[in-house]
Amino acid sequence: MADWLDGMERLVREREKALLGYAYVVCGDPTLAQDLVQDALVKTFSRPREGLTQVKAEAYVRRAITTLYVDHYRRQQRWQRVQHLFRPQVVQESTTVFSDLSADVATALADLPPRVRACVVLRFFDDLTVPDIAGQLGLAPGSVKRYLSDGMRALELRLGNLDDADHALATEVDVAPTKGHTHD
């Protein structure tokens, strides 16, 4: 039992900065990023899991961060539709800048819808394939491709030409020939 707790402590000690950075890229808010990492760790390690290596544990935590962010966004959207009934809306911009991203990229990512943003982050920051992203987010691969396409288009409008990203996205499509059908 103590083995999985030691694994959690080691993961936090060795990968905390990377997890916080990942959460920040996903959500764009340093305070929310800390909350997401904390909640993801609780979600991942709230019960003993046999055979959970550090690599698997980090993958579980990263997936939980993404899932928790999308859930948080949905709750926030529902609240925004009715909050005017309870109090006036107050908007405050974050003044903290993530050091590993340029301000332009961070701003452009912040403007993307949450699922599009999650797909872009998982593809280009986590280097996952379309099927892996689809599995993590519970989406069809076609939906992931659409979100990536929409995200890249929106980022290009903000940041200019993204030739390397387009090439990576184009090579991502896995086309397997059907049985008895060959390509020339």
* Residue ending a domain, choose from 85, 110, 137: 85
Give the model confidence (pLDDT) of 10-38 as tens digits: 888 988 999 999 999 988 889 999 999 99
Instruction: Let me know whether 69 and 21 are in one domain.
Output: yes
DSSP string, 33-57: HHHHHHHHHHHHHSS--TT--HHHH
| Residue where the block lists tokens 């992931």 | 144
Residue-level pLDDT at 78: 76
Instruction: Let me know whether 71 and 143 are in one domain.
Output: no
Mean pLDDT of 85-93: 57
Residue-level pLDDT at 4: 65
Instruction: Let me know whether 144 and 117 are in one domain.
Output: yes
Cα 99 to Cα 2, 160, 164, 171: the distances in Å are 36, 21, 22, 30
Is 129 contained in some domain?
Answer: yes
Taking phi first (over 0 means left), then psi (-120 to 50 degrees means alpha), and beta for anything else, what does residue 180 get? left
Average pLDDT, the chain: 77
Mean pLDDT of 105-119: 86
Is 178 contained in some domain?
Answer: no
| Residue where the block lists tokens 């030409």 | 161
Instruction: Let me know whether 116 and 61 are in one domain.
Output: no
pTM: 0.51
Instruction: Let me know whether 72 and 3 are in one domain.
Output: yes
Instruction: Let me know whether 81 and 7 are in one domain.
Output: yes
Is 31 contained in some domain?
Answer: yes
Residue-level pLDDT at 1: 46
Is 184 contained in some domain?
Answer: no
Give the model confidence (pLDDT) of 148-158 as tens digits: 999 899 888 87
Question: Count of domains in the chain?
Answer: 2
Give the model confidence (pLDDT) of 124-136 as tens digits: 888 889 999 999 8
Angle between helices 103-110 and 141-159 (to 10 degrees): 130
Residue range(s) defining the domain that contains residue 33 = 1-85
Q: Assess whether pLDDT exceeds 50 at residue 58.
A: yes
- Lowest-pLDDT range of 71-80, 114-123, 170-179: 170-179
The residue with greater pLDDT, 49 or 75, is 75
